[in-house]
Structure formats: structure tokens, C-alpha cells
Amino acid sequence: MPTKIEKDEHSGTDTTGHVWDGVRELNTPLPKWWVWVYAACVVWGFALFLLYPSIPYGSGYFHGLLGYSSRVEAMKGVAEMHARHAADMDRIASADFATIKADPKLVATAEAAGRIAFANNCQPCHGAGGEGHVGYPALGDDVWLWGGKVEDIAATITHGIRSTDADARNSQMPSFGADGQLTAAQIGAVADYVSTLYGIATPGPDVQKGAALFADNCAVCHGDKGQGNREVGAPPLAAKVHLYGNDRATIVAQITRPRMGVMPNWNTRLDPATIKSLALYVHALGGGE
């Protein structure tokens, strides 16, 4: 039952005049600014409701007056990105390495594409970061079998090594032991000498004899000081990094029957832009010349 509006004696606030079971209601309305903000939100919400996709029905939905679709926007973005990437890859395919290197944007595209292609194709043999495994050379160091200029690397990737490609890099180290060109004792002596080139601490007793045999049989490919020869992919023997392990037993095994690593040619599997990107990526791993 309404009574007359009076002040509450404890808080000093007006009452509304409503009384329930003797309890009187204080008159504390919402602040004006709050009411306006609330009203504005309702109007704003209703506007969004009309402009953008909102009400679902049966087989579809109300598309909104603007016809906006986040899916269409996203697909547009993806298509633009593909177009830009394809244009860059076309330029990489047609430009020479000097031109590519002069354009930081192309280099960035090539190295990104190279990184992905490396992970997909090269990692099983050469390791995730090109660190190499026994028989599969490390690609980030500065010891090169066939050459560390970006053009050399591209040629290696394109045609492969001892692969089926007609232009493959090719060479054969003779099977000195298996073919009887050197006796076991002679092989032991050469291995003693080669061990000194490797820097193995206790090379064996026949270093002098081995040096002479090396000059006669090996220097033609590996160089008179064991410096290697990229023309025939003969690894430097006077180096810290080796293709097959750093112990005398491995050296004896190689002289007896060389393993002759095979690297596939990629020209039948990868397009020229990807091969160039791989060459730039490998070159940038750290050992590029």
C-alpha cells in the first residue's frame, strides 16, 4: 500500500513510497549516463544484427545487409598470398643468382621455400639442419666435395651424384683391395700415412712407405698433400671433417672397397625455382663460398 514519500532516517535517502510488510523501498535510480550507454548498446547491437550475418534458419542464414562473410575474406587473403608467392617463384626461376641475391625480398622467399623443400626432401639423408650423417656430407661446414659456390650447389642438386642423370657428377675411386691393386700390407701402410693427414694420434708404423704409395696411387685424385679435388669429388683428406668417420679402420675399409655415395638428381622431382631456392638455402647454412 503506497504511503507518502519521506526520507529514510538512517541513510537520508528518499523512499519511493512503496512498502512491503513494513519494509520501505529507497529511491535510488540508475545513473543517467548508465541508462544512455545501455540504450546506445541496444541500438548498436540491433544495427550489427541487421548489417552482419545473424539469424540462422532452415538451410541457411540471414546474410546481413552488408553481405559480409569472414570465409570469403579469408579465401581472398589466401588467394592474394598465393599469387604473390607464385610471382616471386616465377622471378626466382628466371633470374640468375646475382639478380636474386640483390633483391632481399626474393632472397627471403627463396630461403623460406628452400627451408621447406629441404625438410621435405633432404633431411632424411643430410639431417634436419644439414649437419650430415656418416656417408652423407654436412652441408653447413666449409668442406665441399664438389664445390660450395651457389652455382656448384645448384648443379649438384639438379643432376645428383652418381645418379641416373646423364649430367650427374661422376667419379669412381678404385677398389684397391677388392681388385687386388694393393696388398693388405700396402693398404695398411697407406692408411698409416692417411691417418697422419687426418690427424689421428697414433697412425701406425709405416707412414714413410705409405707416403710413397699415396703419391703413386692416390695423389692423382686426392692431391699431393691430400687437399682433395672437386673435379672428381675426391674429398680433402687433410681436413678435420670427413665423409666416413675419423678412424684408421674406416680408412682401410674405404681403400679396400670404396662406398661411392649416391645422391639422387632432383631435376625430375622439383621445379627449377625450388632447386634454386634449395641452393640458396644450403649456401646460407654457413659454408657457402
Q: DSSP for 208-255?
A: HHHHHHHHHHTHHHH-TTS--BTTTTBPPSSSS--TT-SSHHHHHHHH
Question: Does 273 sit near ligand HEC (CB under 6 A)?
Answer: no
Spatial neighbors of 209 by CB under 8 A, at least 6 apart, are 186, 189, 192, 193
Residue 96's CB is within 10 A of a number of other CB atoms, namely 9
Instruction: Please pick, from the candidates 100, 150, 243, 273, the single residue that binds ligand HEC as defined by CB under 6 A.
Output: 243
CB 166 within 8 A of CB 158: no
Task: Name which of 116 and 125 has its Cβ closer to ligand HEC.
Answer: 125
Please tell me the distance from the alpha carbon of residue 109 to that of residue 85, in angstroms, as a whole number.
Answer: 8
Question: Does 110 sit near ligand HEC (CB under 6 A)?
Answer: no
Question: Does 276 sit near ligand HEC (CB under 6 A)?
Answer: no
CB 166 within 8 A of CB 177: no
Question: Does 235 sit near ligand HEC (CB under 6 A)?
Answer: yes
Question: Does 137 sit near ligand HEC (CB under 6 A)?
Answer: yes
Question: Does 174 sit near ligand HEC (CB under 6 A)?
Answer: yes
Question: Does 251 sit near ligand HEC (CB under 6 A)?
Answer: yes
Question: Does 100 sit near ligand HEC (CB under 6 A)?
Answer: no
Cα dihedral 141→153→145→288 (10° resolution): -30
Instruction: Please pick, from the candidates 110, 144, 158, 211, the single residue that binds ligand HEC as defined by CB under 6 A.
Output: 144
Question: Does 129 sit near ligand HEC (CB under 6 A)?
Answer: no
Cell readout for 72 is 570469403
Question: Which range touches ligand HEC (CB under 6 A), out of 48-56, 62-70, 75-83, 168-176?
Answer: 168-176
- Which of 112, 114, 105 lies closest to 150, judged by CA? 114
Question: Does 274 sit near ligand HEC (CB under 6 A)?
Answer: no
CB of 44 to ligand HEC, least distance (A): 56
Give the residues lining the site for ligand HEC (CB under 6 A). Answer: 121-122, 124-126, 135-137, 139, 144-147, 153, 156-157, 161, 171, 173-174, 176, 190, 194, 217-218, 220-222, 232-235, 237, 242-244, 251, 254-255, 258-264, 266, 278, 282
